[in-house]
């Protein structure tokens, strides 16, 4: 890792943080250290970072705001790449939003509404970045990224830059081709439509009010823990299994929304994983339905 660090320093790619604890970089506030955390200053620096890592055969893990992610207590071996301010730009061209991979999805939905463009109201409460949203095909309120994405610019694990269209990304429920094609989304082109500013503002406000009322967003959490099975909701199955308030260590099934696990203050990744197992087992024994995690579990086991 020392030779990698030396090459990255020589290339002046941005901030380099060896043995950096990752808990502060996740919404769950859980996670051990990365061997190296790199925060490239911009797109050129990101490309150079990936090329150096590829040359050394060092794996990397991209991270945005760290939502929808559970980092192992042992941390992440290799390099974690966090998109910096240089990859958080936004501009509108007609009905298109051209936005950097590190841009906040919530902020984007608000900015689009103020610009008179509709299509992003569903994203008003999703606490992630645009890049993560493309990767996971993030969605809510009956819509998702596949409805609005025209194309995405991606740095592949070799450092090559490619642009993939909507069909190329093979979107499905909380899935894209990027799960099998390692890379980092640097830019997304979103195709929106002209809308009524007042109506959009009202929809965003309504969605936000509903989330604040029904989800424990004031506490460290990672969003929905499990994917919704066909024709039902994970939260309903978990609640009917009597698991609201169930705790393992510092991890607790939210009493507000049963598909959220909250960190009560000192939860570990192991606490969360053991609680997830309790939830999966209870639901399966009661219904025969296997809950599939929506959160990404990363790092050394």
What CATH number has the domain bearing residue 179?
A: 3.30.465.10
Residues 225, 294 contacting (CB under 8 angstroms): yes
**Considering only CA atoms, which of 277, 293, 224 is closest in space to residue 254?**
224
Sign (positive/negative) of CA torsion 99, 123, 156, 56?
positive
Residues 124 and 227 in one domain: no
pLDDT digits (tens, 9 = 90+) for 258-277: 999 999 999 999 999 999 99
Domain that holds residue 42: 2-85
Task: Reply yes or no on whether 93 is catalytic.
Answer: no
Residues 133 and 194 in one domain: yes
Average confidence score pLDDT of the chain: 94
Catalytic residue among 51, 65, 174, 246: 174
Residues 234 and 262 in one domain: yes
The domain boundary residue, chosen from 68, 85, 102: 85
DSSP 21: E
Residues 39 and 150 in one domain: no
CA 292 to chain centre: 17
pLDDT at position 206, please? 86
Q: How confident is the model at residue 85 (pLDDT cuts 50, 70, 90)?
A: confident
Strand ranges inside 171-228, DSSP E: 183-191, 193-194
Residues 124, 208 contacting (CB under 8 angstroms): yes
Residues 106 and 194 in one domain: yes
The domain boundary residue, chosen from 21, 53, 85: 85
Residues 43 and 25 in one domain: yes
Domain count within the chain: 3
* pLDDT of 25 strictly over 90: yes
Residues 92 and 203 in one domain: yes
Residues 260, 251 contacting (CB under 8 angstroms): no
List phi, psi (to 5°) of 199. -65, -40
pLDDT digits (tens, 9 = 90+) for 202-232: 988 888 888 888 888 889 999 899 999 999 9
Residues 93 and 193 in one domain: yes
The domain boundary residue, chosen from 66, 85, 104: 85
Task: Reply yes or no on whether 213 is catalytic.
Answer: no
Residues 96 and 185 in one domain: yes
Residues 130 and 35 in one domain: no
Residues 47 and 127 in one domain: no
pLDDT at position 50, please? 97
DSSP letters spanning 221-245: --S-SBPPPTTS-HHHHHHHTT-TT
CA angle (120 as vertex; 116, 123 as ends), nearest 5:
140
Catalytic residue among 121, 224, 246, 252: 224
Residues 6+ apart with CB under 8 A from 44: none
Residues 161, 194 contacting (CB under 8 angstroms): no
Catalytic residue among 48, 153, 187, 294: 294
Residues 79 and 169 in one domain: no
Task: Reply yes or no on whether 206 is catalytic.
Answer: no
């Amino acid at each position: 890792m020392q030779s990698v660090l030396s090459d990255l320093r020589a290339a002046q790619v941005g901030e380099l943080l060896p043995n950096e604890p990752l808990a502060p970089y996740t919404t769950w506030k859980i996670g051990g250290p990365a061997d190296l955390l790199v925060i490239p200053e911009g797109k050129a620096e990101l490309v150079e970072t990936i090329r150096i890592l590829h040359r050394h055969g060092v794996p990397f893990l991209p991270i945005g705001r760290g939502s929808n992610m559970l980092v192992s207590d042992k941390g992440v071996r290799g390099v974690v790449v966090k998109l910096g301010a240089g990859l958080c730009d936004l501009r509108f061209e007609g009905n298109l939003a051209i936005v950097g991979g590190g841009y906040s999805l919530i902020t984007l939905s608000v900015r689009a509404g103020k610009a008179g463009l509709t299509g992003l109201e569903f994203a008003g409460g999703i606490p992630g970045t645009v890049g993560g949203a493309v990767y996971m095909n993030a969605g809510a309120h009956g819509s998702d990224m596949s409805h609005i994405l025209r194309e995405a610019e991606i740095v592949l694990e070799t450092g090559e830059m490619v642009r993939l269209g909507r069909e190329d990304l093979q979107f499905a429920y909380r899935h894209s081709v990027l799960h099998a094609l390692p890379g980092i989304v640097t830019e997304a082109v979103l195709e929106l439509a002209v809308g009524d500013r007042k109506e959009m503002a009202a929809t965003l406000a309504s969605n936000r009010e509903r989330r604040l009322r029904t989800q424990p967003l004031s506490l460290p959490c990672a969003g929905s823990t499990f994917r919704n099975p066909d024709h039902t909701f994970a939260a309903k199955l978990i609640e009917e299994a009597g698991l609201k308030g169930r705790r393992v260590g510092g991890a607790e099934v939210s009493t507000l929304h049963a598909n959220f696990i909250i960190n009560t203050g000192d939860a570990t990744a192991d606490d969360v994983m053991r609680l997830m197992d309790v939830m999966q087992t209870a639901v399966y024994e009661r219904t025969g339905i296997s809950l599939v995690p929506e959160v990404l579990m990363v790092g050394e086991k």
